[in-house]
Structure 1
Amino acid sequence: MQKFELMATCASGIEALVGKELRELGYKVKVENGRVRFEGTIEDILRTNLWLRTADRVKIVVSEFEAKTFDDLFEQTKQVNWDKLLPIDASFPVEGRSRNSQLHSVPDAQAIVKKAIVNQLSETYHRRTRLPETGALFPIEVAINKDQVQLTLDTTGDSLFKRGYRVGKGGAPMKENMAAALVMLTSWKSDMPFIDPVCGSGTIAIEAALIGQNIAPGFNRSFICENWDWVPANVSEQLRDEADAKADYDAKLDITGFDIDQNMVDISKRNALEAGLADVVSFKQLAVKDFKTDKMNGVIVANPPYGQRLSDQQSVRKLYREMGQTYKPLPTWSKYILTSDLEFEKFYGSRATKRRKLYNGALRTDLFQYWGKPIWHHDGKRETK
């Protein structure tokens, strides 16, 4: 099988997580800003699309070169054997971006790359008329940074955060891959209680359940490369069968999402049902200040409102105070709270054990981490009750 140079793209701040996921899948990786490089066959492309929880896309790196003129861009793009990737009827839109480069006009760069690919394909396929572009979709991107050009082919289609289970959402929903990243940045293990006290549409709790039962996040969706004529259908079917066999659907998990808004609780329940996890995750209406538990050694992950608007800031900071007061009697629990309010600790009432900068979309946020002090049995197992 042909080997490709590949990269998994991701949000800024979680590259190390994507790298860790790929290493656990057996790949050698190179972690860069916003992406992780690795190598693999079409089987690996399908496997990583199926299993990566925190990435956005898996792309084939088709070519990389320096270009300071449009002639350079055209000639070097044309040198690529595009016919090895694109059939004669391929539909291949070209997207582009450019930073700190002499070729700063993105529309012109896109047009030049498109023209070069058309020329190469037309010569190879002996076409004197226009290419039909009526077949499968092959999305191409030209990215230019400091005069270095990178041509990539997207294998994913809709971003990997679109798992397919979210049938309802609230006003500011968190992307599924960001929710998975928050869970993976905690100390949580599947034998520990897990709480999201401001669950919104339930995404964080559902992602925790997918992790806890080892369910492939891409299991219930398709990928654009599955429509390509050189991708064997039996490989995709085999990998999905393997993923199904690896899932532990009988794993007993203690995962609960709370929200003060019953409407959001109802939406969360619908999303959990769509994900096949209605019997695994519980959702209940409850205000943060009313939360109490006798359980021990649990994990709380919260993505509360950020109070971006001044009119909201007062009520949001009141919520932060309530969190600090409510969680103070839970010394064995670890708490992880994501917010863009860099003064969060002041209102929560104590300094975080650790802070981690993350980007929720384009917004800079910090994950404030308060590590608990777990109680252990003499046999080395955690106490949970």
Structure 2
Amino acid sequence: MNKLNIVATCTFGLERALKREIIDLGYDIDKVEDGKIYFKGNYNDMMKANLHLRCADRVLIFLTSFDAFSFDELFDKTKDYPWENIFDKNAGFNPTKITTVKSKLYSKRDIQKIIKKAIVERLKNKYHTKKLNEEGAYYQIIVNIKKDKVSLFLNTSGEGLHKRGYRENALKAPLKETLASGIIELSGYRGDRPFSDIMCGSGTIIIEAAMKAKNIAPGLNRHFAFENWKEFNKKEFDLIKTQAKENIIPAPIRLLGNDIDYKAIKVANENAKKAGVDDAVAFQKMDMREFRSKKKNGTMIVNPPYAERIGEEKEVIKLYKDFGKVYENLEDWKLFVLCAHPLFQKHFGKKADKNRKLFNGNMLCYLYQYYPNKGNK
């Protein structure tokens, strides 16, 4: 695995943010697709990507692609790939995530069985054995089939990269850490200006912004799938992590989070401590309607309640209207609002300067972007 085709995946709509992150890490982009950024590197580069990328969902290794219009073709072309270059005779493996779009092959269960069988047959022939024990290193194979084109990947991350290790406690419908970081990246925030979330919930947005401000690699406190592989070099990875820890800096400014719920503030403080940013954040129980700031050139990112989450449309509408009044007093602040309510702009009282489609889980949302001196004076 010296020369790898590395693929970082992300939520649809965050491709621009992820592309910028990869370039900042020092890599050239090969290709951009919906939810995927391709670049080349070696094994160490793959480990660095897992450790440092903030808005990537997973880091994959692209293996091969081919057309398959039948299960026989799927079997034969999968079997043609030199799996023995990756898996030894004791390796465990399985297609764990399968997507199929506009293709003749659509039964995920059958696709999984056939790919597994094809790899087993190939390895049995190559290793001259009648049975594979699969008791060694375990590999997850990702399968994408779109318009009859099959693409196979290895999942180097394991669990999604939003699993940072700091959010053991969360409130209902929490925002994914990777989505929060993607929005922060799109906002242009670099950690040197005032930052606030006045409906912070369990504190995800504030904590992710503080980790960026302190240059804390988001993967420092978690495990990755590649750590169980035969190729894994613990000394190299320990060195990469040591360098990441040495690059952590004090936050130049304290980031502010407010919420009306005392329980949310308690959870946010606990999460911030686990993330190593409790020295860079301040959480306070406060109704967002009371928020005021004399600071200039700040950034505010908010994921307000949607009607589906509160259950009362009138309450949501009043919240958005009052939120609009709060923003009127923040003339020099940029504002980014992730919201699924179709009439947010109407009730907020201002049309966004820009908006972008994003998905919070399976829910379609819009990121409404407001800039200073454009209608909020």
The normalised TM-score by structure 1 is 0.94
Q: Are 2:195 and 1:194 aligned?
A: yes
Distance (Å, rounded) in 2 between the aligned partners of 1:26 and 1:144: 31
The answer on whether the counterparts of 1:197 and 1:257 sit within 8 Å (CA) in structure 2 is yes
The residue type paired with residue 116 of structure 2 is: K
Distance (Å, rounded) in 2 between the aligned partners of 1:35 and 1:187: 21
Relative distance call for 1:309 and 1:53 in structure 2 (3 A) is closer
SS of 2:314's partner is helix
The answer on whether the counterparts of 1:16 and 1:31 sit within 8 Å (CA) in structure 2 is no
Alignment of 1:275-314 (within 5 A): 275-308=275-308, 311-314=311-314
Paired position in structure 2 for 1:36: 37
Paired position in structure 2 for 1:382: none
The residue type paired with residue 329 of structure 1 is: N
The residue type paired with residue 356 of structure 1 is: R
Relative distance call for 1:265 and 1:45 in structure 2 (3 A) is same
Q: Are 2:40 and 1:49 aligned?
A: no
SS of 2:92's partner is coil
Paired position in structure 1 for 2:334: 334
Alpha-carbon offset, residue 309 of structure 1: 6.5
The answer on whether the counterparts of 1:333 and 1:373 sit within 8 Å (CA) in structure 2 is no
Distance (Å, rounded) in 1 between the aligned partners of 2:2 and 2:365: 41
Alignment of 1:1-385 (within 5 A): 2-29=2-29, 30-95=31-96, 96-128=98-130, 130-248=131-249, 250-308=250-308, 311-373=311-373
Relative distance call for 1:310 and 1:269 in structure 2 (3 A) is closer
Distance (Å, rounded) in 2 between the aligned partners of 1:159 and 1:94: 16
SS of 2:128's partner is coil
Distance (Å, rounded) in 1 between the aligned partners of 2:358 and 2:105: 31
Alpha-carbon offset, residue 251 of structure 1: 2.8
Relative distance call for 1:361 and 1:311 in structure 2 (3 A) is closer
Distance (Å, rounded) in 2 between the aligned partners of 1:187 and 1:48: 21
Alpha-carbon offset, residue 34 of structure 1: 1.2
Deviations 1:287-318 (A, max 9, x none): 01111122121111100111126942211111
Paired position in structure 2 for 1:379: none
SS of 1:289's partner is helix
Relative distance call for 1:360 and 1:329 in structure 2 (3 A) is same
Distance (Å, rounded) in 2 between the aligned partners of 1:28 and 1:362: 31
Distance (Å, rounded) in 1 between the aligned partners of 2:137 and 2:80: 23
Relative distance call for 1:226 and 1:347 in structure 2 (3 A) is same
The answer on whether the counterparts of 2:197 and 2:205 sit within 8 Å (CA) in structure 1 is yes
SS of 1:217's partner is coil
Deviations 1:39-66 (A, max 9, x none): 1111111010011101111111111001
Deviations 1:112-168 (A, max 9, x none): 11011001111111112x211122220012221111011111000010010000021
The answer on whether the counterparts of 2:292 and 2:329 sit within 8 Å (CA) in structure 1 is no
SS of 1:11's partner is coil
Distance (Å, rounded) in 2 between the aligned partners of 1:287 and 1:68: 58
The normalised TM-score by structure 2 is 0.95
Alpha-carbon offset, residue 182 of structure 1: 1.4
SS of 1:163's partner is coil
Identity of aligned residues (%): 40
Worse-matched range after superposition: 31-40 or 305-314 = 305-314
The answer on whether the counterparts of 1:259 and 1:285 sit within 8 Å (CA) in structure 2 is yes
SS of 1:296's partner is coil
Distance (Å, rounded) in 2 between the aligned partners of 1:349 and 1:232: 56
The unaligned stretches of length 5 or more in structure 1 are 375-385
The answer on whether the counterparts of 1:165 and 1:274 sit within 8 Å (CA) in structure 2 is yes
SS of 2:315's partner is helix
The residue type paired with residue 68 of structure 2 is: A
The residue type paired with residue 62 of structure 1 is: L
The answer on whether the counterparts of 1:256 and 1:282 sit within 8 Å (CA) in structure 2 is yes
The residue type paired with residue 270 of structure 1 is: E
Distance (Å, rounded) in 2 between the aligned partners of 1:352 and 1:100: 35
The answer on whether the counterparts of 2:210 and 2:251 sit within 8 Å (CA) in structure 1 is no
Matched pairs, number: 372
Paired position in structure 2 for 1:381: none
SS of 2:138's partner is coil
SS of 2:252's partner is coil
The answer on whether the counterparts of 2:3 and 2:41 sit within 8 Å (CA) in structure 1 is yes
Alpha-carbon offset, residue 361 of structure 1: 1.3
Distance (Å, rounded) in 1 between the aligned partners of 2:95 and 2:341: 38
The unaligned stretches of length 5 or more in structure 2 are none
Give the root-mean-square deviation of aligned CA atoms: 1.5
Distance (Å, rounded) in 2 between the aligned partners of 1:251 and 1:210: 9
The answer on whether the counterparts of 2:310 and 2:316 sit within 8 Å (CA) in structure 1 is no
The answer on whether the counterparts of 1:188 and 1:298 sit within 8 Å (CA) in structure 2 is no
Alpha-carbon offset, residue 189 of structure 1: 3.2
Q: Which runs of 4 or more aligned residues in structure 1 lie more than 4 Å from their structure 2 counterparts after TM superposition?
A: none
The residue type paired with residue 219 of structure 2 is: G
Alpha-carbon offset, residue 366 of structure 1: 0.8
The residue type paired with residue 278 of structure 1 is: D
SS of 1:93's partner is strand
The answer on whether the counterparts of 1:113 and 1:142 sit within 8 Å (CA) in structure 2 is no
